[in-house]
Amino acid sequence: MTATDTLAPSARRVAYDRDGYVVVRGLLPKELMARAAAEAEALPARFADLVSTRNIRCRWQDNVFTGECTFETFDPVIDLSPASRDVALAPELLALLNDLYGGPACLFKDKLIFKPPGVKGYGLHQDWIAWGGFPRSFLTVLAPFEPADRDNGCTVVYPGYHAGGSLSPEDGQYHELPADTVDEAAAVPLVLDPGDVAVFGGFTPHRSDPNTSGRWRRQLYLSYNAAADGGDRREAHYREFHAWLERKYAEYGKTDTYFA
Ligand SMILES: O=C(O)CCC(=O)C(=O)O
């Protein structure tokens, strides 16, 4: 349990604004999460033809024990998984975001991180990136399909640091933050069960450890912007993101990428 778990809806925005994150237990219907989990489990086999290191829909991470480069993420995912789309647009979730924003939210980005056993985590970073169209109201909702905890490498957030805005140069590049940017004693592991959600902002520093358990950590990362902050920008975001990824791969000599 974290301090914000039991907050009344009206207090959630205060906590989110103050801490840069909020956890809400049991928000999403069990039936919806079970349907989406079953669909998620079947996705890599069902769309095996999409799982390629050349396909920029896919993200890969090393296995920390074997060194094997392992498929880890579909980004985007809602066009492959109707049940994930239902989670992203669930009325309970949109109502929570409406409370946090003080107005409607628009889906901006959607990914499913599978994080199989052994797979590496992410270094400390903020999601907000200085691209022309990147909304400052960007936030991410975590919706797990199975328990996420320290052992399988749950996401860890650092409260309060979002108030400093961007902690990296605003040069349009992705930056990992030095570990000493945050006080490790302040770390909040987002330990979640299916139905729970955690919401954190684009300026909230976060990271995750490797999955050292024998379990998967399948979790939706659903990102939104306030409708008042640019309206529906999902298509524009993916156009910009794909162009950026292709440029990055090309810098490393990889010019045979595609999106499918
Ligand atoms: O997998 C995680 O816990 C973190 C993922 C993340 O930070 C990201 O996709 O930006």
The CATH number assigned to the domain holding 19 equals 2.60.120.620
Q: How far apart are the C-alpha atoms of 250 and 241, rounded to whole Å? A: 14
Residue-wise over 196-227: b if at least 16 C-beta within 10 A, else e? bbbbbbbbbbbbbbbbeeeebbbbbbbbbbbb
- Judged by DSSP in three states, 164 sits in helix
Q: Does residue 258 sit within a domain? A: no
Contact in structure between 156 and 191 (CB atoms under 8 Å): no
Percent of the chain with pLDDT over 90: 95
| Residue 4: inside a domain | no
- Whether residue 108 is contained in a domain is answered as yes
**202, 209, 151: which is closest to 179 by C-alpha?**
209
Token couple for 175: 């930056």
Q: Does 164 map to a domain?
A: yes
42 domain-assigned: yes
* Average pLDDT score over residue span 130-134: 90
Tell me, what's the pLDDT at 133? 81
212: DSSP letter: -
Residue 3 lies in a domain: no
Q: Mean of the pLDDT values across residues 88-102? A: 97
Place of tokens 């930056």: 175
d(CA 164, CA 182): 12
Ligand 1 shell residues, CB under 6 Å: 113, 122, 127, 155, 206, 208, 221
Average of per-residue pLDDT across 103-125: 98
Contact 142, 221 (CB under 8 A): yes
Count CB atoms within 10 A of the CB of residue 135: 20
Q: Whose CA is nearest to atom 3 of ligand 1?
A: 155
Q: Which residues of 71-87 are buried (b: 16+ CB within 10 A; e: fewer)?
A: bbbbbbbbebbebbbbb
The pTM score is 0.96
Q: What pLDDT is attached to residue 1?
A: 45
Distance 119 CA to ligand 1 centre (A): 12
CA distance 154 to 148: 5
pLDDT of residue 3: 45
Residue 208: pLDDT band (50, 70, 90) is very high
State which H helix or E strand residue 88 sits in.
helix 82-88
Pocket test for ligand 1, best of 152, 155, 217 (most atoms within 8 A of CB): 155
pLDDT at 132: 87
User: How does residue 8 score in pLDDT terms, banded at 50, 70 and 90?
Assistant: confident
Q: What is the number of the ligand 1 atom nearest to the C-alpha of 154?
A: 3
In a domain, 22, yes or no: yes
**pLDDT tens digit sequence for 29-62:** 999 999 999 999 999 999 999 999 999 999 999 9
> Is residue 1 situated within a structural domain?
no
Residues ≥6 apart with Cβ < 8 Å to 192: 23, 142, 144, 147, 148, 154, 198, 219
Domain boundaries, position 213: 9-251
Average pLDDT over the chain reads 96
Give the chain's domain count: 1
Of ligand 1's listed atoms, the one at least distance from the Cα of 111 is 9
The total of other beta-carbon atoms located within 10 Å of residue 121's CB is: 18
Would you give the distance in Å from CA 237 to the centre of its chain? 15
User: What ligand 1 atom has the least distance to the C-alpha of 113?
Assistant: 1
